[in-house]
Amino acid sequence: MSGIQLVTVTLLSALAANALAGIPPPVVVNFDTYPDGSMVQTSDRFTTQYSTVGVEFTDGGATGPAPSGNTCSFSAPNHAYAKVIIAYFVDPCTGSPSVTDYAGTRQDFCWVPGEGIDMYAYDADGILLDHQFNSGGGNFLAFSFPQPIIARLEMTCILQGIDNFTFNSPVPVLRGDMNCDGDVDLQDESPFALALIDPSAYASANPNCDIRRADMNCDRAINGLDIQGFVDALLAPP
């Protein structure tokens, strides 16, 4: 059995065991289609298009990696390419920063010695958790931790692109917890109202709390449509 076949069998066995245990399968971003089913265009840059499944990308600057059409891609036609690709994990509902316990990527099959993806996993405080170098045609390599702690992956592409970016869905944020004390209670009423009427004032008063926690209906907007959801959260039994 080849190395690729062995990895495939191992992954399939793990997925089957997780399915029996009721654990959701990992999210796979193939860079060929977006979560809404629309096709990737060659002029695209990958930034927030996959935010609703829990990840956002940059190239270390103001834009993101580009689709690189290549028949060697594990899931043809595209993989993502930039000199540096940074993947940030977010709450799929609100887009707020979050963490996961498992994330990795596959590279394409057109590989020669020396090529690969230099991968670094960091926590929310920017502390390096682990470093691995992904090499080998079609190789898949992932970071795995016993608890959700990975906030971002930084990947340096050495003549390779990333394909089939795979991760466990990030931890949901506690929507309505506007003072970030871990509870949704009466102490959140004033900051919630402030978030709706004066986002800048909210940010100044709560510098360590993401205003997107006020997005109670997951429409990626903060407005009057979120009020009923906040009231429901306040009235929910502890």
How far is residue 55's CA from residue 80's CA, in Å, rounded to a whole number?
Answer: 14
Q: How many degrees, rounded to 5, is the angle at CA 220 between CA 25 and CA 95?
A: 50
pLDDT confidence bin for 238, thresholds 50/70/90: low
Q: 77: cis peptide before it, omega within 30°?
A: yes
pLDDT at 24: 81
Q: Which amino acid is at 136?
A: G
Interval 177-185 mean pLDDT: 94
Mean pLDDT, the chain, rounded, equals 89
Per-residue exposure over 91-128, b if at least 16 CB sit within 10 Å of its own CB, e if not: bbbbbbbbbbbebbbbbbbebeeebbbbbbbbeeeeee
Q: Using 50, 70 and 90 to split pLDDT, how confident is the model at 136?
A: confident
Backbone angles phi and psi of 20, in degrees to 5: -65, -30
Q: How far apart are CA 213 and CA 224, in angstroms?
A: 14
Percent of the chain topping pLDDT 90: 76
What is 135-184 written as a DSSP string? Answer: -STT-EEEEE-SSS-B-EEEEEEES--EEEEEEPPPPPP-TT-TT-SS--
Cα–Cα distance, 44 to 78 (Å, whole number)? 12
The dihedrals phi and psi of 15, each to the nearest 5 degrees, come to: -65, -40
pLDDT band at 7 (very low <50, low <70, confident <90, very high): very low
- When pLDDT is cut at 50, 70 and 90, the band that residue 8 belongs to is very low
Per the model's pLDDT, the better-predicted residue between 62 and 11 turns out to be 62
* pLDDT given for residue 112 in this prediction: 87
Does pLDDT of 224 surpass 70?
yes
Helix pair 189-197, 227-235: axis angle to 10 deg: 170
CA dist 55 and 205 (Å) reads: 28
Give per-residue pLDDT as tens, 69-104. 888 888 889 999 999 999 999 999 999 999 999 999
- Confidence band of 236 (pLDDT split at 50, 70, 90): confident
pLDDT for residue 152 is more than 90: yes
pLDDT of residue 74: 86
Cα–Cα distance, 178 to 176 (Å, whole number): 5
Asked if residue 214 has pLDDT above 60, the reply is: yes
For 7, the token pair is 């990895």
113-133 pLDDT per residue, tens: 889 999 999 999 999 999 999
